[in-house]
């Protein structure tokens, strides 16, 4: 087994995943294609994230921001592969996760140095992805997602956000749909121990539903899988604070701290330096405090 994967011991600590967007249109304003030399910028950002406490780098080349347009696998790979090859050449020590739902992208990235796949559609978008991943001993993050591309609202100050989907029993439906994704993975031959769940904060959920999801994360944890959460800079924080995306640091910190207390194993963040500090203190309080 890849040493990078084996080094993650669930329950020992909370792992920090740093977000690297190889896009021109990230909701958070940090897409590296806005930079004049995007690939060098991405490499420097990866190194900085690792120095600042990241354990995992999550690299994505297709924006999932509200209102974004899908791109081809060819364009996605054109953005991803040069960065992956550069990271491999530099012998980057962190786990490299690729944020994609496309089987062809996943295959080529895994063959060029990636360790994990992070699928925001929980194996429901590309029927070939599960079969492709079964050929590799690679962890897969399965995210819950009921967002609809056209169901987007926009606020001049707070930015765009997905409208909440209809639920009759919110938490039960989230759990059932995550387990349906797990079933797709297992039927395709993906190892049970390679499955990580993400409840999909911000994707087709209202402000109140996002808050409930974090506060009741222990119910997702009870499904028996490691849990990742990604509240970083999300619109529900903007709604609570009445602040734009670049001013949601404290809101992100609060949601991460509570998420860890409720069972999160990985936190996916933009502001690695500061959130790694939040994680360290929260772990000291919740995982390592004296009984």
Q: Which residues are catalytic?
A: 234, 268
C-alpha–C-alpha distance, residues 59 and 80, integer Å: 8
HEC string of the chain equals CCHHHHCCCECCECEEEEEEECCCCCCCCCCHHHCCCHHHHHHHHHHHHHHCCCCEEEEECCCCCCCCCCCCHHHHHHHHHHHHHHHHHCCCCCEEEEECCCHHHHHHHHCCCCCEEEECCCCCCCHHHHHHHCCCCCCEEEECCCCCCCCEEEECCCEEEECCCCCCCHHHHHHHHHHHHHHHHHHCCCCHHHEEEECCCCCCCCHHHHHHHHHCHHHHHCCCCCEEECCCCCHHHHHHHCCCHHHCHHHHHHHHHHHHHCCCCEEEECCHHHHHHHHHHHHHHHCCCCC
């Amino acid at each position: 087994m890849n040493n990078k994967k084996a080094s993650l011991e669930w329950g020992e600590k909370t792992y920090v995943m740093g977000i690297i967007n190889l896009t021109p249109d990230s909701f958070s304003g940090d897409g590296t294609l806005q930079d004049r030399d995007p690939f060098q910028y991405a490499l420097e950002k990866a190194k900085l994230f690792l120095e600042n406490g990241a354990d995992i780098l999550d690299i994505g080349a297709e924006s999932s921001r509200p209102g974004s347009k899908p791109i081809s696998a060819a364009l996605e790979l054109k953005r991803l592969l040069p960065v992956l090859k550069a990271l491999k050449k530099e012998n980057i020590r962190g786990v490299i996760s690729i944020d994609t739902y496309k089987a062809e992208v996943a295959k080529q990235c895994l063959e060029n140095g990636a360790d994990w796949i992070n699928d925001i559609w929980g194996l429901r978008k590309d029927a070939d992805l599960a079969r492709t991943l079964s050929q590799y001993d690679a962890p897969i993050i399965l995210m819950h997602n009921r967002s609809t591309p056209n169901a987007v609202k926009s606020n001049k100050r707070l930015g765009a956000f997905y409208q909440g989907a209809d639920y009759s029993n919110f938490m039960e439906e989230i759990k059932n749909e995550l387990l349906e994704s797990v079933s797709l993975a297992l039927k395709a031959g993906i190892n049970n121990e390679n499955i990580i769940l993400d409840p999909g904060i911000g994707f087709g959920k209202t402000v109140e539903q996002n808050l409930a999801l974090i506060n009741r994360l222990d119910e997702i944890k009870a499904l028996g899988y490691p849990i990742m959460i990604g509240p970083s800079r999300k619109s529900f924080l903007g709604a609570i604070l009445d602040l734009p995306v670049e001013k949601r640091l404290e809101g992100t910190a609060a949601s991460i701290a509570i998420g860890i207390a409720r069972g999160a194993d990985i936190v996916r963040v933009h502001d690695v330096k500061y959130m790694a500090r939040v994680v360290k203190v929260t772990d000291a309080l919740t995982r390592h405090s004296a009984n």
